[in-house]
Structure 1
């Protein structure tokens, strides 16, 4: 008896790194939409499946390849054998088949429409359809394809009905000629629950750019390798000048976002409600990670000072999940990536107005992580702690200086909000590390010192 594609997917999907429901049984998997993109052998089929686990149902996007004969190079992404059009075929993850993913380029270039799938090309874009794709393997929640040295296409595996914030932001900033976003070339969309929904976004690929996190870690390693007592500014690979430039770029992006989207303010009553949310999260975090209790007074004092503010706080569109892994250094400047917002949050929350200092706080926490995460398990961790603190303080100060000099607002009572946001972020990090990397819990706990 031939296994159906639906049955194959139910057994295969739980093993994928982007599957969000690991560790829980699947109660039901249904194929909600199945769209053939062309005929022949091999054949590309676009699927949207719904997975029910308990009370939660999650939809996923699956590009599926179908072949009569499966070459060895694709056996590592095999889903299984099933019946299609009355004959047995091999089904596999088509993201890894460059002979099929080329159809995504030609679809965008020709603005193809197939059933409810719509391929879109960015205004003024020219797409080179001869480029072949390669899958990036580092991602957890999405799948990205690099086409030659020109484009990177991000496929959103987990789908939420609505316009993805990243497409909205990069389109607006690119139209405003921002120097800090990679140019959009096209996207793929469908309709879910009556709403136009983003399935994939293609942007300019930056092959010679350096990732901020990697550059920062190189600087930290250089510092740790230098003689004791040598100041951070005299060690090879000092990052402070780049941190300053990143602060400037961040302020410029915030200014561009404020010009492209609506802005507003939050009043003191809402500020108090925000601090109450911070306190509740702190209480829950302490219940889960008891060592955090020793630092609760520091966090509560910062939240109390925020609650006492009696003035408005400006809010606008922000990045929402800002850290060193979200920025790339090209030969010209810093480029900001991944304007999706915090993963797992509803689209409405990711698109909501917020203080730009939320992004600043995220980057400050990222500097602390860069300085200290190499100490986990390091044989000289105790002796290097002071060096880690020195590196973090130097680069945090350089970033804030660049941000302020470029017009980013950190003055007067803004420092109160920034401190509260940073500690609220650290509370979240403590819980995350306790669940996923217990040996790293000391990194966010250091924020309360």
Structure 2
């Protein structure tokens, strides 16, 4: 039995690193129904569901309640930067490992999307933080569990192998809906769209990515990149002339792995931003998100070739069809929202090239076996 007369004891147990089955994620869900003790804080977005969580419903007038069962917890069978636990097949507790200093983008984005009525995501319930001597840190995010969900590195690769590109229309609509929502004012983001006379940051970042990729990639691939350095510079040049383009808070790391397909459709997740870019302004051209999503379709194609021995010409045709459908649906949907001016299409290819350079940097620093994907894409473009 856990006494509610001493609720701090529940929270102190959450300071240890949680794992699926140890009961701490269940304890957190239970504790969210109680008074939150200092130095912890909870930012709420939607009420927790009652279905499937009967064991965690709490009458705070009681002196004690049954201890939650670790059997209600399970983890995800995927590699994760952070650690997520499914509780009672109803909610997901995403533990930040390590805790992230606040302000962090996700809680504000959750609050904004909730306010403007965007629902094509895992419904956010709460953000849990703790104050310490150095400030406030984000401990966990609590969202809905989406039954039957798989991410795009699974379902989208299957579509490529099956030579089916019909899904891309829905992805284009989803992305346009997200951008239109991000451009809608709320109490959290009262001025969600910015216009600046000049925006030099994207070009400077792209040039840094080019220099870093050229320095890190060796061997035959490195020689190929170096021989085309001037071509890359020319292709990135439009980023040097960004002026009066609408800037919004974008997703920042929008690839197919961030789009779940579940029993009720598609949902975009993980608004933490790009973990490899820490110095970017929160306001960016919408084209950056769209470019990263289209390049991820290119990567899916490369994965299908590498792992499933798909004919390269077939994969290339699939990629072209999927890209065209995604962009056409995106343009049309933005128009329906009255937000066509959000996208400057001249920035798409430069941002796509920058993204491939960043993929090369990531492969060199963290995952060498991934190099084949961005190199395959760049060789097909140049």
TM, length-normalised to structure 1: 0.69
Q: Which deviates more, 255-264 or 135-144? A: 135-144
CA contact 2:304–2:315 (8 Å) conserved in 1: no
* Matched residue SS, 2:326: helix
Query: Corresponding residue for 1:298?
Result: 231
Query: Corresponding residue for 2:30?
Result: 106
4+ aligned runs moved over 4 Å, structure 1: 408-413
CA 1:295–1:415 in structure 2 vs 1: closer, same or farther (change >3 Å)? farther
CA 1:179–1:130 in structure 2 vs 1: closer, same or farther (change >3 Å)? same
Query: Corresponding residue for 1:398?
Result: 325
Query: Corresponding residue for 1:314?
Result: 246
Cα distance, 1:294 vs structure 2: 2.9
Query: Corresponding residue for 1:253?
Result: 178
2:40 paired residue among 94, 117, 125: 117
CA 1:179–1:317 in structure 2 vs 1: closer, same or farther (change >3 Å)? same
CA 1:140–1:276 in structure 2 vs 1: closer, same or farther (change >3 Å)? same
CA contact 2:14–2:24 (8 Å) conserved in 1: no
2:95 paired residue among 148, 155, 159: 155
Give runs of aligned pairs for residues 22-421 of structure 1, distance below 5 A: 38=9, 45-47=13-15, 62-63=16-17, 94-113=18-37, 115-127=38-50, 128=53, 130=55, 132-193=72-133, 195-223=135-163, 238=164, 240-259=165-184, 260=186, 261=189, 262-268=192-198, 270-271=199-200, 273-289=201-217, 290-291=222-223, 292-308=225-241, 311-343=243-275, 345-346=277-278, 349=279, 352-376=282-306, 384-407=311-334, 414-421=344-351
* Matched residue SS, 2:113: helix
* Matched residue SS, 2:334: coil
The higher relative CO (CA closer than 8 Å, separation ≥ 6) is in 2
Cα distance, 1:126 vs structure 2: 4.5
CA contact 2:286–2:343 (8 Å) conserved in 1: no
Question: CA RMSD of the aligned region, Å?
Answer: 2.8
* Matched residue SS, 2:147: coil
Q: Which deviates more, 432-441 or 358-367? A: 432-441
The number of aligned residues is 344
2:359 paired residue among 403, 422, 429: 429
Cα distance, 1:285 vs structure 2: 1.3
CA 1:105–1:129 in structure 2 vs 1: closer, same or farther (change >3 Å)? farther
Cα distance, 1:210 vs structure 2: 3.9
Task: Please identify which structure carries the higher strand content.
Answer: 1
CA 1:151–1:125 in structure 2 vs 1: closer, same or farther (change >3 Å)? closer
Query: 1:104-153 CA distances to partner (integer Å, 9 max, x unpaired)?
Result: 1111122431x412345445444525262212242332110101221011
CA contact 1:36–1:44 (8 Å) conserved in 2: no
Cα distance in 1, alignment partners of residues 359 and 276 from structure 2: 15
CA contact 2:252–2:273 (8 Å) conserved in 1: yes
Query: Any unmatched runs of 5+ in structure 2?
Result: 1-5, 57-71
Cα distance in 2, alignment partners of residues 38 and 196 from structure 1: 20
Query: 1:347-388 CA distances to partner (integer Å, 9 max, x unpaired)?
Result: xx567111111110110111001011232366x57xx11112
Cα distance in 2, alignment partners of residues 36 and 45 from structure 1: 11
Query: Any unmatched runs of 5+ in structure 1?
Result: 1-34, 48-61, 64-93, 224-237
TM, length-normalised to structure 2: 0.81
Cα distance in 2, alignment partners of residues 388 and 142 from structure 1: 33
Cα distance, 1:331 vs structure 2: 4.2
CA 1:423–1:337 in structure 2 vs 1: closer, same or farther (change >3 Å)? same
CA contact 2:202–2:239 (8 Å) conserved in 1: no
Query: Corresponding residue for 1:68?
Result: none
* Matched residue SS, 2:206: helix
